[in-house]
Amino acid sequence: MKAKNTKVLLIYTGGTIGMMQDAKTGELKPFNFNALKHQIPELNKFNTELHSISFEKPIDSSNMHPKTWVRIAEIISKNYIKYDGFVILHGSDTMSFTASALSFMLENLSKPVILTGSQLPIGIIRTDGKENLITAIEIASAKRNNKPIINEVCIYFEYKLYRGNRTFKYNSQHFDAFKSPNFQCLAEAGVEIVYNEHAFLKRQNKALKIHTVLDNDVAVLRLFPGISKKITSAIINTKGIKAVVLQTFGAGNATTDTWFIDLLKLAIKKGIFIVNQTQCVEGRVVQGLYETSTQLKKIGVISAKDLTFEATITKLMFLLGKKLNSKQLKTEFQKNICGELTE
């Protein structure tokens, strides 16, 4: 499935995959991308032309910001015609947020954008970084009938390729760090790479369009038994807030205390967009299934369905950036834009 003259652009943002261990302190510090290529000589064996762009100052993914997502999207847009695929080297901690954001920002994407990284630095003998990077490049360069096999934003980690906006990081200790709880993986790498093509997004034949205006005036209210009125009120009444992700129990259930419902109702009347997103990692919100979610539905709280937390946050930032009115926002949020939710 490799094609001659295929060109892949590596975008190095930082993360563990590009870290080296200080011999004296044991502290992990970033190093130049050229050192990464030196550590993986196998990259020279690819039947693919590889180019790279490296952030001048590699960043830890904990410092990831919407401005960085815009920067990555602009790099892809600027180089979109020249390359057949893109591999983004990124820290694993916020990789699912970046993958989700890019899936919304890169409209009409028809080429692979693969994010990958590692749990151990490249310089360590047992690193998972080499396999992750090598296979990510192989997938990014894979073609059939002279067209890329993958045409969406994905995460490749520990032998599996996932739809990026369906993932979350669930493990900080094992190489198998990501899960896609409500959607199957797109490919599995063994002796061969097996693609689950029936799960792919429909190929787009329109020109790439990038969205670079994101609005991060979003808050999160995670419920727990005994949550107080003053804390709830403080979050919902934060100055300038435009949307609240209400992390509920089970299938979208919340306390039915009058003060709680009244606070939400007042916020919605003020124009604050409130989304019901379950704390469960699998399953979906079904408002009205139980009495404890019926009132939320009645007052205008919107179901996140089976969106991940990462996709919920980034989708809100994306849609708020489009300056939609409340009716349009409600309609667009409930749409399946790029495979992020199950209809």
Query: Digits of tens for pLDDT over the chain (343 positions)?
Result: 444 579 999 999 988 787 766 667 767 666 556 666 676 777 777 788 889 898 888 888 999 999 999 999 999 999 999 999 999 999 899 999 999 999 999 999 999 999 998 878 776 778 787 889 999 999 999 999 999 999 999 999 989 999 999 999 998 888 878 999 999 999 999 999 999 999 999 998 899 999 999 999 999 999 999 999 999 999 999 999 999 999 999 999 999 999 999 999 999 999 999 999 999 999 999 998 888 899 999 999 999 999 999 999 999 999 999 999 999 999 999 999 999 999 8
> Would you state the pLDDT for residue 171?
87
> Which of these is catalytic: 6, 16, 68, 278?
16
> Would you state the pLDDT for residue 337?
97
Specify whether the CB–CB gap between 163 and 151 falls below 8 A. no
Question: DSSP assignment, residue 45?
Answer: G
* CA atoms of 275 and 244, how far apart (whole Å): 6
How would you class 44 by CB atoms within 10 Å of its CB: exposed for 0-12, middle for 13-18, buried for 19 or more? Answer: exposed
> Would you state the pLDDT for residue 17?
80
> Would you state the pLDDT for residue 21?
64
Instruction: Look up 312 and say whether it is catalytic.
Output: no
Token pair 């180089």 is found at 79
CB-facing half-sphere around the CA of 215: CA atoms within 13 A: 14
Specify whether the CB–CB gap between 283 and 306 falls below 8 A. yes
Amino acid identity of residue 54, one-letter, is S
> Would you state the pLDDT for residue 4?
55
* CA atoms of 159 and 78, how far apart (whole Å): 30
Q: What is the pTM of this model?
A: 0.93
- Tell me how crowded residue 238 is: count the other CB atoms within 10 A of its CB: 13
Domains of the chain: 6-210 (3.40.50.1170), 218-333 (3.40.50.40)
- Tell me how crowded residue 182 is: count the other CB atoms within 10 A of its CB: 17
> Would you state the pLDDT for residue 273?
98
**For residue 342, which of 171, 126, 181 has the smallest C-alpha distance?**
181
> Would you state the pLDDT for residue 138?
94
Instruction: Render 234-245 in DSSP notation, one character per residue.
Output: HHHT-TT--EEE
Furthest-apart CA pair in the chain: how many Å? Answer: 66
CA dihedral 276, 280, 284, 285 (to 10 degrees): -30
**For residue 12, which of 34, 29, 27 has the smallest C-alpha distance?**
34
Phi–psi pair at 301, nearest 5 degrees:
-70, 135
> Would you state the pLDDT for residue 267?
97
